[in-house]
Amino acid sequence: MTIRMFDWIYLTHKTPLWQDETTAEGQLRLQELASKVREALDELTAMERVTIERHDFEGLSLVNIAAELEWPCSRVQVVRRRALRRLHKVLAPFVQERFGISLPSTDCPICASPFRRDAERIIAARTRDEPYSQVISQLRHDFKIAIISPKTIIGHIKYHC
């Protein structure tokens, strides 16, 4: 199990998460994560798994994988992205619980926004009696974040912050 296996989490989070894991306890957490990743991989389709294993773990380029599978490169990209989303969804609760790290969700418009931190400040500034519709329209106006339902905001605060 190489550190490369966790690159997809690295890349999402933009900071090296695992470098401090030199203590025995930290090592244990990493091992636990590794076995969780293996479990999560089992939930992918064979082709999704191939893209993750060949590219993310073995370091093969997407172009090479495409050539190997005789697929267009775009198809490899689409399949890998879907695989990442599924891995992410399965692993996020564990990573949050054991490492205290919340991973941005790719399905969430707030997480996906480059103005995420500013948006969170606006959400945090909302008072109890202020309707969510006001926050929603402000986020749309100021940051072009399209939110359909207050559930998106509530879910973001609860699971992604």
Binding residue for Zn ion (CB under 5 A) from 87, 95, 110, 139? 110
Q: Give yes or no for a contact between 101 and 17, defined as CB atoms under 8 angstroms apart.
A: yes
37 binds Zn ion (CB under 5 A): no
Minimum CB–partner distance for residue 89 and Zn ion (Å): 13
Q: Which is nearer to Zn ion, 9 or 111 (CB)?
A: 111
DSSP class per residue in 40-75: HHHTS-HHHHHHIIIIIIT---HHHHHHHHT--HHH
116 binds Zn ion (CB under 5 A): no
Q: Which is nearer to Zn ion, 51 or 105 (CB)?
A: 105
Q: Which is nearer to Zn ion, 79 or 145 (CB)?
A: 145
Q: Distance between CA atoms of 134 and 121, rounded to whole angstroms?
A: 14
108 binds Zn ion (CB under 5 A): yes
65 binds Zn ion (CB under 5 A): no
156 binds Zn ion (CB under 5 A): yes
Q: Which is nearer to Zn ion, 28 or 101 (CB)?
A: 101
Q: Give yes or no for a contact between 96 and 102, defined as CB atoms under 8 angstroms apart.
A: yes
Q: Distance between CA atoms of 155 and 125, rounded to whole angstroms?
A: 17
Q: Which is nearer to Zn ion, 50 or 145 (CB)?
A: 145
160 binds Zn ion (CB under 5 A): yes
Q: Which two tokens stand for residue 8?
A: 């997809």
123 binds Zn ion (CB under 5 A): no
For residue 99, what are the contacts with CB-CB under 8 A and spacing of at least 6?
17, 29, 33
Interface with Zn ion (CB under 5 A), residue total 6
Stated as kind and residue range, the H or E segment containing 10 is helix 7-13
List of residues contacting Zn ion (CB under 5 A):
105, 108, 110-111, 156, 160
